[in-house]
Structure 1
Amino acid sequence: MKLILHAGPEKTGTSAVQASLFSIRDKLLSKGILYPDVCLWGDKSHHRLAFSMFEIDAWGERELFGDLLARLENEIIASRCETVILSSELLKKAFSCGNFSKFSNFVEKLFSDVIVVLVFREQVSWLASVYNQMVKDPVTKCGLTFSEFVKEEDNVDAMDYYSIASGWRSVPFVSRVLALNYAEAKNDVAPFFFSSIGFSSELVESVSVVSPEVVNQSLDRPHLDLIRFFNRFEMPADERHRLNREIVSLVDSDFNYLAPERSIIKSGDVEFIREHCLRSNQALKDEFGVMLVLPDSALYHPDDLYSGVNVRMLAKLFVSSVRSFRSGQDVS
């Protein structure tokens, strides 16, 4: 039996792949391919597997890892499928988890062929996308600038893609690590992914017509600065969601997306990222055949030239519409 383990990383079209896999589950099943129900999370990923493995209480839900694996094994056996696909970007470094030995025993018991699929995106746009998410997310509420964000120790470590690919390659049960270049997907990640793992043309074509809508739009500097402004204040989650949606809805006449000074990225950020990715990216190219091309730092301004929108004034316009703000609270 074959296992295809799609382990991210995040912000590489994982949501599109997972939504597409979920949408054609019945067709996959008829072809002997199982996208299991047991580990499904609300976003159609298998994050439940990752949460249980890492012993994370996600919104009050956590199942003992051994119990989850037992239920997953029962579903796999009952399906009589020859191929199983598991997909969660939270598993990108699962090999370093304390519970990984249990997962290894589970995999070695059921599967003779294991392919780990990783999709890598050049680090400048990848970090910009991660930063977008961290600022917008009502839980993380990131208040850093992008320049500060890229220098955080965890993010510097995350730029090292080679350690992810080589880490999975060193796992005994892994037959092959399939490393893919996000740039080759040309904004159509799901068909690219399915084609790369050897799906038939019929299955590839079927996901081409069910591509999910964009639900996690990347924002430019003015939008993010407004959201960062409000991240300093406590408010109910539903109010923060509403406020973020209102900021995102601002028309293009307010914010010119194409103006270079609207970018969150500065030339110094690109040089910093390049310096920390050079060796890792070369090794990724030499050993896994993935060549990532970082943008030219000359495309970005060397200094913070952003001055087109008075963020404080715009932010104050929203204060009156936020019910959670007590009267008299200082927003200066």
Structure 2
Amino acid sequence: MTDELALTSDPPADDWRVPTGTRLLHIGPHKTGTTAVQAALFEIRDQLAERGIYYPSYDRHPMHAVLAVTGRHSMMGDDPPKGRHWDRLLAEVTAADDQTGVISSEFFSEAAPDAIARIVEDLGGERVHVVVTLRPLVKILPSQWQQYVQNGQRTTYENWLHHMLRVPPYEQPNPSFWRRHRHDRLIERWVDVVGRDRVTVVVVDDSHRDMVLRVFESLLGLPDGTLPAVQVATNRSLSLGEIEMVRRFNVEFRSQDELPDNFYSRLVRYGAIQRMKQARRPGPDEPRVTTPRWAQEQAVEIGQEIANWVAGSGVRVIGDLELLHQQLPEAAENATSEATVDPEAAAQALFGAIAAIPTLNGNGNGNGGSPAPPAPKPEKVGVPVHKVRSAELVRILARRARRRFLRR
């Protein structure tokens, strides 16, 4: 039975509210409104504490702790997760004693059954209530591909879709995708450990602004409007021109064998891409990544299977399961594989930001170490930099990064 969210009145907190002292575990998955929930909880964590609700305060999202307990790798170039990260999170949760705790991370969605059993036991066993937020798979596909590209992937969107949807066992180039987004199997893995009575599925309705925040208020027994909508600029999607330029850079970066992954992490993901997201807003006429009709149709079919399984699973459902298998109104016959706008402006901003970042220090991670060597002399390209094509800028940047790395 699906509960309808009454957005015009106070949420039915008494119906959805979890018992005091619950460890509310939000497991994502990715691209289902997790950032909005985490940003809101983190923003008012002190106020929540006054209401007897605990949210880990050392970071908006305990990614390293969750990667450690699930046994997953960190993102390209990041420091590897350590067991102490999970231990630290557990110590903070334990210190909260009988308060209601909220732990949110989309990386919980990648946990295997043995890791799920450990997570639940570590967090208090029967005190754990799992929340899964869902969006239509057809909307997740382009966003998730973008995220993979921002982590160094080189595959075009069309080729990625082909492998994820048409090439058994559908694991390459990203085995994590279906582990995260075959949502029926994801929910089943957690139900097997905690039971169906302690799992809530929230179907996010994008047509109702901040719907997911209102649901979390109800789960926690908070007044309507308590959780703020926090704008996170670095969470926006890239335009077609922007993401294609990043993908082409990845191809060039991977061709430079001497370059370490932490160069990519520092200079690209946390440097250029974040700067581009914060400093630039794509114009309304800039094309976005579009999913071809054949892929949309397959995603809708899978969404129907997921919705049917959830409906019969016995877990509590908030929202409309029909949303999981609705076709998007826009669909192209083929994926947009080439940027239809000139990416040079975005390329200049991106690579200009990278070139302007000071040389990494002696240990290569920007957190201390030997003094940085002097910046190299400007690259001789024969023409002013603003007239250099993006492909040439990629090669220039790669050569500069290589020289700096070898100099260290």
**Separation (CA, whole Å) in 1 of partners of 2:335 and 2:43:** 44
Shift of 1:128: 1.2
Aligned residue for 1:10, secondary structure, equals: coil
Q: 1:142 aligns with which of 140, 153, 161?
A: 153
Aligned residue for 1:218, secondary structure, equals: coil
Alignment-derived partner of residue 90 in structure 1: 107
**Separation (CA, whole Å) in 1 of partners of 2:105 and 2:93:** 18
Shift of 1:119: 0.4
Structure 2 residue 82 is matched with structure 1 residue 63: yes
| Alpha-carbon spacing, 1:311–1:272, altered in 2? closer, same or farther (3 Å) | farther
**Separation (CA, whole Å) in 1 of partners of 2:143 and 2:232:** 17
Retained in 1: the 8 A contact 2:29–2:181?
A: no
Aligned residue for 1:141, secondary structure, equals: coil
Aligned residue for 2:23, secondary structure, equals: strand
| Alpha-carbon spacing, 1:293–1:53, altered in 2? closer, same or farther (3 Å) | closer
CA RMSD of aligned residues (A): 3.5
Retained in 1: the 8 A contact 2:307–2:322?
A: yes
Alignment-derived partner of residue 285 in structure 2: 256
Alignment-derived partner of residue 389 in structure 2: 317
**Separation (CA, whole Å) in 1 of partners of 2:81 and 2:300:** 39
Shift of 1:116: 0.5
Alignment-derived partner of residue 2 in structure 1: 22
Q: 1:291 aligns with which of 314, 319, 322?
A: 322
Aligned residue for 2:129, secondary structure, equals: strand
Shift of 1:118: 0.6
Retained in 1: the 8 A contact 2:138–2:328?
A: no
Alignment of 1:1-332 (within 5 A): 1-37=21-57, 40=58, 42=59, 44-56=60-72, 58=74, 59-64=78-83, 68-69=86-87, 71-72=88-89, 74-94=91-111, 96-107=112-123, 110=124, 112-135=126-149, 137=150, 140-150=151-161, 151-152=163-164, 153=170, 154=175, 155-156=177-178, 158-172=180-194, 175-183=197-205, 186-188=208-210, 191-201=213-223, 204-208=224-228, 211-234=230-253, 236-237=263-264, 238-241=266-269, 243-244=272-273, 256-257=285-286, 262-287=288-313, 288=315, 289=317, 290-296=321-327, 299-303=330-334, 308-309=340-341, 317-318=389-390, 319-320=392-393, 324-326=397-399
Write out per-residue CA displacement over residues 21-46 of structure 1, whole angstroms, 9 at most, x where no aligned residue.
12212211111111134xx5x4x112
| Alpha-carbon spacing, 1:157–1:98, altered in 2? closer, same or farther (3 Å) | closer
Give the partner amino acid of 1:240. V
Shift of 1:278: 3.2
Shift of 1:183: 1.5
Aligned residue for 2:251, secondary structure, equals: coil
Retained in 1: the 8 A contact 2:128–2:194?
A: no
Shift of 1:103: 2.9
Q: Structure 2 unaligned runs (5+)?
A: 1-20, 165-169, 254-258, 348-387, 401-408
**Separation (CA, whole Å) in 2 of partners of 1:30 and 1:173:** 31
| Alpha-carbon spacing, 1:252–1:33, altered in 2? closer, same or farther (3 Å) | closer
TM-score if structure 1 supplies the norm length?
Answer: 0.77
Q: Percent of pairs identical after alignment? A: 20
Retained in 2: the 8 A contact 1:134–1:141?
A: yes
**Separation (CA, whole Å) in 2 of partners of 1:322 and 1:177:** 50
Q: Structure 1 unaligned runs (5+)?
A: 328-332
Give the partner amino acid of 1:171. V
Give the partner amino acid of 1:317. R
**Separation (CA, whole Å) in 2 of partners of 1:232 and 1:301:** 26
Retained in 2: the 8 A contact 1:54–1:97?
A: no
Aligned residues between the structures: 309
Alignment-derived partner of residue 330 in structure 1: none
Shift of 1:89: 0.8
TM-score if structure 2 supplies the norm length?
Answer: 0.64
**Separation (CA, whole Å) in 1 of partners of 2:120 and 2:309:** 26
| Alpha-carbon spacing, 1:247–1:269, altered in 2? closer, same or farther (3 Å) | farther
**Separation (CA, whole Å) in 2 of partners of 1:9 and 1:320:** 36
